[in-house]
Amino acid sequence: MRGEPLKIFQGPNESELERDFTYIDDIIQGCVASVDHITPSTKEEAMYKLYNLGNKDPVTVSYLVDCLENALGKKAIRNYMPMPPTGDVLRTSADVTLAGKDLGYKPTTPLQEGINKFIEWYKDYYKNGLDRDMDEYVPM
């Protein structure tokens, strides 16, 4: 929003990195459903199950930037660059099969809709401007 270039890392042969972005309301729905399905436990034994919550449909980082541009009405300055040697995974996505089966979990919020909702919240929450900590924040 300050007009600074965005670093967008690319994989081998300028491939796009893909991420599984999930709107917070979808994650909350999964968390609440998991609490609703807790089995009784005793002091000696507590049963547990791990659930993977996410969206299951990864998109490119460039598409994320497209969605932000649409929501903000501003064009981003994109600075595509090779991924650093320390690297990262090229594609991540959640396998929500077990959560769907056990909890009825099914994320429903498309990325553009989630971004629109977030930006609406953000503008309302910071309607008087950023607080000092946020204004002085410098990413690593």
Tokens of 31: 């968390």
Please report which confidence band the pLDDT of residue 30 belongs to, taking 50, 70 and 90 as the band edges. Answer: very high
Q: Give the residue-averaged pLDDT of 1-27.
A: 89
**CB under 8 A, 24+ apart: contacts of 9-14:** 9/61, 9/80, 9/81, 9/82, 9/83, 9/84, 9/88, 10/80, 10/81, 10/82, 10/83, 11/83, 11/90, 14/80
Q: What is the pLDDT at residue 1? A: 60
Average pLDDT, the chain: 90
**What are the pLDDT digits (tens) for 32-48?**
999 999 888 888 888 88
The angle, 0 to 180 degrees and rounded to 10, between the axes of the packed helices 61-72 and 111-125 is 50
Dump pLDDT digits (tens) for 72-102: 999 999 999 998 888 788 899 999 999 999 9
Q: Which residue has the higher pLDDT, 31 or 42?
A: 31
Query: Which pTM does this prediction carry?
Result: 0.80
What gap in Å lies between CA 62 and CA 75, rounded to an integer? Answer: 12
Q: Answer for the pair 92, 18: CB distance below 8 angstroms, yes or no.
A: yes
Q: For residue 88, what pLDDT is reported?
A: 80
Report, as an integer, the average pLDDT of 120-137: 82
Q: What is the mean pLDDT of residues 122-136?
A: 80
